[in-house]
Amino acid sequence: MNLHNDVKPFACDTCGRQFAQLGNLQKHMSVHTGERPHRCSECTRCFSDLSALRRHYASIHERNPRYHCETCGKKFLHLSSARSHRMQHDGVKPHYCTVCGKTFTHRSGWMRHCRVHHHKDHGVVRARVGEDSKEVLLKPGEYIVYLTE
């Protein structure tokens, strides 16, 4: 096993991303194929891997979510998740691709876009707080520290 010695012998032929385990590479391939074979039995959501379906089911259908979206009715266990979801309805897209200009509500969507379409793990993100905005250059392995008011 190569988890603790930084050896990553399994590489994606499409984007070059490397993995320590073959199973992780196989899961990763759904990013490129768009395959989502695991369907939730309670709703219409589909997932690329079984563990994501199980997390979804446990957090949405087995528990009693305390928060819900007044626009679409989606339920959430955590207030932070409900607030993050609300950004989609409000059209807030603080993250953008400097290569093609596409904008994103969530950093994870922006990073996935950069990896899949531009084969990069870095770029510039604009974080906006009130009237202020700041550009942050990300290098591979770096993450955004969100600004607070």
Higher-pLDDT residue of 80, 148 = 80
- pTM confidence score: 0.42
User: What ranges do the domains of the chain cover?
Assistant: 39-89, 94-138
d(Cα 79, Cα 74) in Å, to the nearest integer? 12
pLDDT at residue 64 in the model: 77
Q: Give residue-wise pLDDT tens across range 51-66.
A: 889 888 887 888 777 8
C-alpha 18: how far from its chain's center? 18
Residue 19 phi, psi (nearest 5):
-135, 150
pLDDT at residue 1 in the model: 53
- Selected from 3.40.190, 3.10.20, 3.30.70, 3.30.160, the CATH number assigned to the domain covering 39-89 reads 3.30.160
Please spell the DSSP secondary structure of the chain, one letter per residue: --TTTT---EE-TTT--EESSHHHHHHHTHHHH----EE-SSSS-EESSHHHHHHHIIIIISS--SEE-TTT--EESSHHHHHHHHHHHHT---EE-TTT--EESSHHHHHHHHHHHH--S-EEEEEEETTEEEEEEE-TT--------
When pLDDT is averaged across residues 110-132 and rounded to a whole number, the result is: 61
pLDDT at 9 over 50: yes
pLDDT at 145 over 60: no
pLDDT at 136 over 60: no
